[in-house]
Amino acid sequence: MTTGSTVLMIEDNPVDVQLVTEELSLFEGGGDFRLENARSLKDGLARMDRQDVGSVLLDLSLPDSSGLETFVRAHEHDPDMPIVVLTGNDNEELGLKAVQQGAQDYLVKGKVDGGTLVRTLRYALERKRLESELRQAQKMEVIGQLAGGIAHDFNNLLMVVLGKLQALEWPLRNDESLLKEVREASRAVLDGASLTERLLSVARQQPTEPKVINLSAQIEGMKSLMLQTMRQAVEIRTDLSADAWSTKVDPSRLEAVVLNLLVNARDAMPGGGCVTIRTGNELVEEGELGTQCPAGEYVVLEVSDIGLGMSAEVRRHAAEPLYTTKDNGDGLGLAMAHGFLREVGGYLGVESEEGYGTSIKLFLPRAYEPVEQVATDTGTHSVLQLGEEKVLVVEDNDAVRETVVGHLGALGYHVVEAHDAPSALDAIRQHEDIDLVFLDVLLPGGIDGITVAREALSLRPNVRVLYTSAYTQSAFSQVGVSDEVVDLLHKPYRRKDLARKVRQLLDD
């Protein structure tokens, strides 16, 4: 039985129900659908809330409702349900009006054969799925644009704060107490940058860094972090398969999703309880989990709780961006999981019932490459790398430019400043000895950083180019330059990251 196979026929005439049942049974493919009957609109609306109902055959003349109002009430009750209207021979015009109001199609009683019925139901399900995906894509596009703009401004702000804090470290080097406070504040700034990444994760605007990982080992390494997320009254149990397959994902994105699912589970158990995290392997057959999950080998991460559970209405919207039932605005775990899984080709499974808890399953495609080892920081870059070359800094944000110029000056470099593309091009023409151009990818005034870099290379073929941006790399496609951005520092970055990258390019 495939997703959407249960057809609810809201019809008070048992003869018509019997005819439709027989037509389905006689036609090839009709066995994919299971027919259920409700004899009144009231009963039908109640049954529409069941999770297994995939489509509705709706008679417009019922004991408790008639005419177009019947469809309007059903459609308003569940706008996402594919509804095919049934009309009489003399009332096709009413069926057309229902389609104009949002019905997927209409059929005329007495003219319905099994083939027409099966094709209509399949078409209704597919059309509704495509409409839903289009609406979701449009929502994500708008949210992505909003999130990208917020991330840009916020990361520029963090860049300035981090720069000022790091500038205090040397004057305070002999005061261990104050130096500790400054470094803790710097770590808090970087934590703020990670919050931006979580926002962009929901909007699918953050570029991913996928690695082949062992899922069980990844979750095992998160235990201390997961414990900090829970209240004392909430217990975390793990059942991690020693034979779990590998998968290729961005580890930080996966961890953000898991933590948000744990927060959802914790809040669903206000009186305390137990959250269980399991990993395992699963072979999915064609159609077993519906059309959204292709057949294949998956490693599965399950997060289950014994909490309040979700109603049918909440389940329908739970994975939508910015949908939450919490007054404080939390609860975006499923939206993050949905966006994350779409990127990696996975599938989100949700099982929940009011009063009986919730189980969330993340189906992650199996990876056959060896697990990538995480490089450890040996401390070889703990000493700042200095230089004396000439660097052109092109940055339109005055506070950020001042911060970067201060960093490079403290590292020994000779710095030339430019606040936009025209002033940058003038500086390149005036200074023949510029060794490196450090510029923002997106500049105001209609000339982007890529154009400036091209001009710089045409005038000074040996000049090095280093880009920076408070936007994410996916935003670069707005100006068609994503393929040309190779060396990039995302804001906010630390002084030692800047020193290492500049030295690397100049020494190459």
Single-letter code of the amino acid located at 282 = E
Radius of gyration over every alpha carbon of the chain, rounded to an integer in angstroms: 29
Let me know if domain 390-507 sits in CATH 1.10.15.40: no
Check: CB of residue 418 under 8 Å from CB of residue 397: no
Which range of 110-119, 222-231, 367-376 scores highest in mean pLDDT? It is 110-119
Average pLDDT over residues 241-265: 87
Long-range contacts of 279-287 (CB under 8 A, 24+ apart): 279/215, 279/216, 279/219, 279/239, 279/240, 279/241, 279/244, 280/241, 280/244, 281/241, 281/243, 281/244, 281/245, 281/366, 282/363, 284/347, 284/363, 287/2
Q: Is residue 397's pLDDT more than 60?
A: yes
- 3-state SS class at 462: coil
Q: Across residues 432-451, what is the average pLDDT?
A: 87
- Residue-wise burial string across 410-442, b where 16 or more C-beta atoms lie within 10 A, e elsewhere: ebebebbbbbbbeebbebbeeeeebbbbbbbbb
| pLDDT at res. 178 | 87
Per-residue pLDDT at 330: 44
Structure tokens at 186: 């710097």
Residue 194 reports pLDDT greater than 80: no
Q: How many CB atoms lie within 10 A of CB 319?
A: 20
Annotate 21-70 with three-state secondary structure. HHHHHHCCCHHHCEEEEECCHHHHHHHHCCCCEEEEEEECEECCEECHHH
Residue of higher predicted confidence among 205 and 34: 34
pLDDT at res. 333? 53
Which fold would CATH assign to domain 6-112? Answer: Rossmann fold (3.40.50)
Pick one of 3.90.470.20, 3.30.565.10, 3.40.50.1820, 3.10.20.30 as the CATH number of 211-367.
Answer: 3.30.565.10
- What's residue 423's pLDDT? 92
pLDDT of the residue at 3: 42
CA dihedral 375, 376, 379, 385 (to 10 degrees): 20
- Positive/negative CA dihedral, 331, 332, 333, 334: positive
Longest CA span, the chain: 93
- Answer whether 35's CB lies under 8 Å from 20's CB: yes
Checking if the pLDDT of 484 tops 70, the result is no
Rounded mean pLDDT, 216-236 = 81
At 382 the pLDDT is: 46
Looking at residue 305, its pLDDT comes to: 92
- The pLDDT, as a whole number, for residue 280 is 94
* Predicted local distance difference test score (pLDDT) of residue 197: 64
- Greater confidence (319 vs 423) lies with 423
- 276, 265 contact by CB (below 8 A): no
The residues, ordered by sequence, that sit 6+ positions from 88 with a Cβ below 8 Å of its Cβ are: 61, 108, 109
Mean pLDDT score across all residues of the chain: 81
- What is the pLDDT at residue 114? 78
Could you give the CA distance from residue 472 to residue 29 in angstroms, rounded to a whole number? 47
Q: What integer is the mean pLDDT of 278-306? A: 87
CA distance linking residue 349 with residue 336, whole number of Å: 14
DSSP string over 326-375: -TTS---HHHHHHHHHHHHT-EEEEEE-TTS-EEEEEEEEEE-SPPPPPP
Would you state the pLDDT for residue 470? Answer: 79
Q: Is the pLDDT of residue 276 over 60?
A: yes
Provide the pLDDT for residue 342.
82
* 102-119 pLDDT per residue, tens: 888 888 887 878 788 888
Percent of the chain with pLDDT over 90: 27
Over the stretch 312-359, which tens digit does the pLDDT of each residue have? Answer: 777 776 665 544 555 444 444 577 787 788 888 898 888 888 888 899
Least confident of 78-87, 131-140, 390-399: 131-140
Which two structure tokens, joined as six digits, stand for 229? 């997320």
Beta bridge partners of 349: 361
> Within a 10 A sphere around the Cβ of 505, how many other Cβ atoms?
15
- The pLDDT value recorded for residue 472 is 56
Instruction: Tell me how far apart the alpha carbons of residues 105 and 127 are, in angstroms, rounded to a whole number.
Output: 10
